[in-house]
Amino acid sequence: MQPRPLLEFKKIGKSFGPNRVLADVSFDLRAGEVHVLAGENGAGKSTLIKILAGIHTDYEGTIELAGRPVRFARPVDANHHGISVIHQEMSLVEAMSAADNIHLGREPARWGGWWLDRSAQLGHALGLCRQLDLELSAEDLACPVERFPMSVRNRIEIAKALAFDARVIVMDEPTGALNAAEVAKLFALIEALKGRGCGIIYISHKMEEIYRIADRITVLRDGRWIGTADAKDCPETTLIQWMIGRDLARQSRAAAGMAAAPAAPRLAVERLTVPDLRPGRPPAIADFSIKVAPGEIVGMAGLQGSGSTELFQGLFGVHGAACRGEVRIDGRPFRPESPAASIRRGLAYLTGDRQGTGLVADLSVENNVCLAALPRHSPGGILRPRRERAQASRHVAALSIRGASPDRPVGVLSGGNQQKVVMAKWLETRPGVMLLEEPTRGVDIGAKQEIYALLNQWTAQGMAILLISTELPELLLLSDRIVVLHRGRLAAEFARAEATPEKILAAAMGAAGDRGEPEAVA
Amino acid sequence: MRNPVAARWLETPWVRALLALALVILVGFVFNADGAFLRWSTHRDMLRQISVYGILACGMTLVIITGGIDLAVGSVLGLSAVLFARLTLVGGHGAVVAIAAVLAAGLGAGLASGGLVARFKVQPFIATLAMMVFARGLAKWSSGGQKISQAVQAPDGSFSYVDLPRVFDVLGSRVLGGNVAVVTLVFAACLALSWVVLAKLRYGRYLYATGGNEEAARLSGVPVARAKLVAYGLSGLFAAVAGICQAAQELQGDPEAGISYELTAIAIAVIGGNSLAGGRGGVGLTLLGALTIGYLEKILSINSVGESSRLMLTGGIIVAAVLLQRRRTA
């Protein structure tokens, strides 16, 4: 007989107006387990979590906490019942200190709650950090959180969630911005929480992560419960089938019959150095050389801080004409100076942060698609709406962008469809060289496969692609070649056939590279 | 709201701004001050009185769409009025020369604050606050602190009266059988120009993109710095147009003219439903906002509501209009 579950969802249902987003969802969470909640974007995971968190209060069914039915009227009720949610989007106030953030809304206070008790707050925060092994000193806790890298912010977020003895912890894609070492730390923390009897609902799109951490897995699809199983009884193929409701043939580039043809390189970079934006630091990229042939995808691997993002920014001229070295596009010399100039030379840069730097959420789908190629679509400086619409609807059809008509703001689309809009925007500039950073971040499995197929299509037309992905399986699947960066320098280079996750990770962490070059001290 | 189609329709800023305007006009029909509201002359005067504010609001809308704000328009109006009066009344220059020079000055002031915002990354509030103070000072300096009118003081202290140049008559008069004030036509022209910029020109799209997501726009090759220069420059230009109209109506250049007008211009843009966060809105909404404020003032004044109550009521109504327009989250 199983012990009584920590938390139980019973026939939860929810509609937004005429749209039914959840129906009859029932499953339970046991103490001391990690329960992965999986499903494509739009499957209803976030809605379910928002109900649990007390954000949506208008729903059907019941939630039972240790056998007692509960109903939360506001988020703070959920907190008082020992439920903590770490949301996908960071919810820290950037300009406030870590300690202030941890206690936001429940500050320890004296004199009837009017006078902040800063020392008690700091003491509590320090105790919490020690308990969670967070390696933050008293000085760190007093710093504004905006000074910390994403990984530290992520841990502060967890400390905030745990500040008040949470028994049920929900983590919504917590590893999105973390590198491998930081993920390992987070997982150790999760193990410790399990040991203390917490139950953890863990939402993730990353397969390897799911199987590393899950005790049980529940899958939602189209707002319905599809199944719950022990992780060891639920192989990846089953899981994918549950999630998308059909078999998915994994298509790799080799299977698609792609191979890099030996041809003159579209992009040739010779001894490129990109300075670090913070003064007094060694360059973010030093003496980097690479050639990318037409139709080739070169994957870039490296831990956080390896400099791959800075390489893209430098090549695209994001921070002006800052780099030194020689760049040639289609054999002609190119000097990065501004995004506008780079676009004119057939360079495109899909950034890893769709909301922050990819889309203009208020503009319509068609205006976003045409934004980067607007000079071509508005001869004489005069807009041609019909021309834009025609162009955009071509892409909407070709990339199967679904969810809204092209004249609606792009913000209403789901993550995967927004990503396709960004891809359409860059495609519209007719690039010869594409710099892709995390093209499938926050995108569900179905859309991921569509994006992979698109990349194959583009390379078949002769586009050269440089690809950054923190998901190693994706990198191995897509790349013809993989170069590994370590602290701004080329650490190793692998042909597709010889690349393995172990070799890549070793090189990324600074072990002697395969090329036998002595590694310069950064 | 049960009906989702109607609910979505009600959420569009256009419909909401129209509803607010309709409500105000309805109030006008109810409290029509013995039929005064039903006479065309009342509406004509309302349109004339709102025109100067409306011209400022056109430029304000462009700036607000980029996510900025222009506090300097009232002062630039004052400066332009003084310059226009000096050039025409004291300097004896022709209308064309005077208008061109004043427009150039307004454009320059706008470009200066735009340059601070775009090139030196000064916050729009601060940059235009500085320009507001500076332009007011410049207006007082160039007028010697005096209103510049037909009574021109000679160096020996004696006054002589100069004839009013024809341009004052033209700008202060009415056309179309006396049914429409010329300044109202100027306002209409400014509306049309702003609409063309926003809806028809590439730079209009650039303004929206810059206000919506500046970094995404920049990485898409949008010249965000130039887009901001265009917005602030046009705002300064419109402020100069408003200054000329003001001088022509008052028959003098008053260095104190336009004080706090920038706030009315912002109120017009916001009541129309333009978002101060930038990235959305349009000059059509600004027109609706101008009519709403104009009718409100007019209805209160024909009903002989005193200025003190009028100001308090206007403040309350601005809040009510903005609350009405706020998007409801599901």
- Which CATH number is A188's domain given? 3.40.50.300
How far apart (Å, rounded) are the C-alpha atoms in residues A507 and A519? 11
* pLDDT digit string, tens, across residues A412-433: 888 888 999 999 999 999 999 9
Hey, of A309, A371, A425, which one would you mutate to test binding to chain B, going by the most B CBs within 10 A of its CB? A371
Asked if residue A353 belongs to a domain, the reply is no
β-pairing, B151-153 vs A115-116, is unpaired
Say if residues A150 and A178 touch (Cβ distance below 8 Å).
Answer: yes
Number of domains in chain A: 3
Reported as half-sphere exposure (CB side, CA atoms, 13 A), residue B251 has a value of 11
Task: State the Cα–Cα distance between residues B289 and B58, nearest whole angstrom.
Answer: 11
Are A371 and B201 an interchain contact pair (Cβ–Cβ within 8 Å)? no
Does A352 map to a domain?
Answer: no
Give A74's DSSP letter: S
Q: How many CA atoms lie within 13 A of A515 on its CB side?
A: 15
The beta-carbon neighbor of A381 closest among B4, B7, B202 is B202
How do the domains of chain B map onto residue ranges? 34-150+161-325
pLDDT in tens, B103-112: 999 999 999 9
Which one of B7, B219, B330 has the shortest CB-CB distance to A318?
B219
- How many other C-beta atoms lie within 10 A of the C-beta of residue A121? 19
Based on the domain organization, do A28 and A169 belong to the same domain?
yes
Average pLDDT over residues A122-150: 80
Query: What value does the mean pLDDT take over residues A133-160?
Result: 79
Q: Which residue of A has its CA nearest to B217?
A: A360
Looking at the structure, tell me whether residues A60 and A157 fall in a common domain. yes
> What region does A54 belong to: left with phi over 0, alpha with psi -120 to 50, or beta?
left
Contacts of A318 in chain B (CB under 8 A): 219
Residues of B in contact with A436 (CB under 8 A): none
Q: Is the Cβ of A16 closer than 8 Å to some Cβ of chain B? A: yes
**What pTM did the predictor assign?**
0.78
Nearest chain B CA: its distance from A400 CA (Å)? 22
Rounded to 5 degrees, φ, ψ at A478 are -95, -30
Range with the lowest mean pLDDT among A336-350, A499-513, B51-65, B193-207?
A499-513
DSSP state of A364: B
Q: What is the per-residue pLDDT across A73-90, written as a single tens digit (0 to 9) for each? A: 888 888 888 898 887 666
* Residue whose structure tokens are 């329960």: A35
Which position has the token pair 């009510």? B320
Query: Are A158 and A296 members of one domain?
Result: no
Taking residues A356-377, report their average pLDDT. Answer: 93
pLDDT at A247: 47
Which of B205, B213, B330 is nearest residue A361 as measured by Cβ atoms? B213
Specify if A351 maps to a domain.
no
Per-residue pLDDT tens over the stretch B264-298 = 999 999 989 898 889 989 999 999 999 999 999 89
Please report residues of B whose CB lies closer than 8 A to that of A320. none
Burial A274-300 (b: 16+ CB within 10 A, else e): bbeeeeeeebbbbebebbbbbbbbbbb
Q: With a cut of 60, say whether residue B238 has pLDDT above it.
A: yes
Distance CA A481, CA A476 (A): 9
| CB within 8 Å: B215 and A375 | no
Summarize the confidence of residues A304-316 as an average pLDDT: 89
Domain edge (last residue) among A192, A216, A244:
A244
Distance from CA of B30 to the nearest CA of A (A): 38
Domain boundary at A244, A273, A292, which? A244
**Claim to verify: residue A62 and residue A18 sit in the same structural domain:** yes
Report how far apart, in Å, the C-alpha atoms of A133 and of each of A4, A137, A143 are. Answer: 30, 11, 19
Whether A195 is covered by a domain: the verdict is: yes
Same domain, residue pair A425 and A319: no
Task: Count the alpha carbons within 13 Å of A302 in the hemisphere toward its beta carbon.
Answer: 27
pLDDT digits (tens, 9 = 90+) for B49-71: 999 999 999 999 999 999 999 99
pLDDT band (50, 70, 90) for residue A250:
very low
Residues B263 and B116: their CA atoms lie apart, in Å, by 21
My answer on whether A260 and A407 are in the same domain is no
Last residue of a domain, one of A396, A413, A429: A429
Q: State residue A178's pLDDT score.
A: 72
Cross-chain CB nearest to B221 (options A343, A367, A381): A343
Average pLDDT over residues A137-146: 82
Question: In Å, how far is B205's CA from the nearest CA of chain A?
Answer: 8
Q: Same structural domain for residues A239 and A330?
A: no
Nearest to B53 by CA among B271, B320, B277, B321: B271
Cβ–Cβ below 8 Å for A349 and B219: yes
Q: Which among A342, A343, A363 has the least Cβ separation from residue B209?
A: A363
Query: Does domain B34-150+161-325 correspond to CATH entry 1.10.760?
Result: no
Is the CB of A280 inside 8 Å of chain B's CB atoms?
no
Q: What is the pLDDT of residues A8-34, one digit of tens each?
A: 999 999 887 666 788 899 999 999 999
- Report CA torsion sign: B110, B112, B116, B118: positive
CB atoms within 10 A of CB B38: 12
Between chain A and chain B, the number of residue pairs with CB atoms below 8 A apart is 84
Domain interval for residue A271 = 251-346+431-522
**Chain A from 302 to 321: CB within 8 A of any B CB:** 316, 318
Instruction: Tell me how far apart the alpha carbons of residues A449 and A464 are, in angstroms, rounded to a whole number.
Output: 20
A398 and A481 inside one domain: no
pLDDT digits (tens, 9 = 90+) for A183-205: 888 888 888 888 888 899 999 87
**Whether residue A396 sits in one domain with residue A507:** no
Q: In this structure, are residues B267 and B296 in contact, taking their beta carbons and an 8 Å threshold?
A: no
A374 contact B CB<8A: yes
Q: Quick check: B205 and A371 CB within 8 A? A: yes
Find the Cα–Cα–Cα–Cα dihedral A12, A18, A19, A25, rounded to 10°.
10
Q: What is the CA radius of gyration of chain A?
A: 24
Do both A235 and A342 map to the same domain?
no
Interface residue of B220, B276, B280, B328 to substitute, partner A, most A CBs within 10 Å = B220
d(CA A395, CA A428): 9
Q: Which two tokens stand for residue A136?
A: 């933050």
What's the rounded Cα separation, in Å, for the pair A203 and B96?
Answer: 69
Name every chain B residue with its beta carbon within 8 A of the beta carbon of A351: 219
> A511: which DSSP letter?
P
Q: How far is B320 from chain A (nearest CA, A)?
A: 25
Q: Closest approach of chain B CAs to the CA of A354, in angstroms?
A: 9
The reply to whether residue A371 touches residue B218, judged by beta carbons under 8 angstroms, is no
Closest Cα of chain A to B120: distance in Å? 15
Q: How confident is the model at residue A239 (pLDDT cuts 50, 70, 90)?
A: confident
Query: Do A347 and A435 form a contact (C-beta atoms < 8 A)?
Result: yes
Question: How far, in Å, CA of A354 to CA of A87, rounded?
Answer: 17
Rounded distance between C-alpha atoms, residue B85 and residue B248, angstroms:
8
In the block, which residue shows the tokens 């992009």?
Answer: A267
The two tokens of residue B273 are 């439903």
Within this chain, do residues A279 and A388 fall inside the same structural domain, yes or no? no
Nearest partner of A267 among A182, A198, A332, A358, judged by Cα: A332
Residues of chain A in contact with residue B220, where contact means CB-CB under 8 angstroms, are 339, 343, 371-372, 425
Q: Are residues A65 and A210 in the same domain?
A: yes
* Dihedral sign for Cα atoms in the order A122, A126, A128, A134: positive
Nearest CA in chain B to A370: B220
Which residues of A are less than 8 Å from B206 in CB distance? Answer: 374
Contact yes or no for B219 and A363 at CB 8 A = no
Contact B212/A360, CB-based, under 8 Å? Answer: yes
Q: Which residues in B have their CB inside 8 Å of a CB on A?
A: 4, 7, 199-206, 208-209, 211-213, 215-223, 279-280, 330
Give counts: helices (H), strands (E), chain A: 18, 22
Residues of A in contact with B279 (CB under 8 A): 360-363
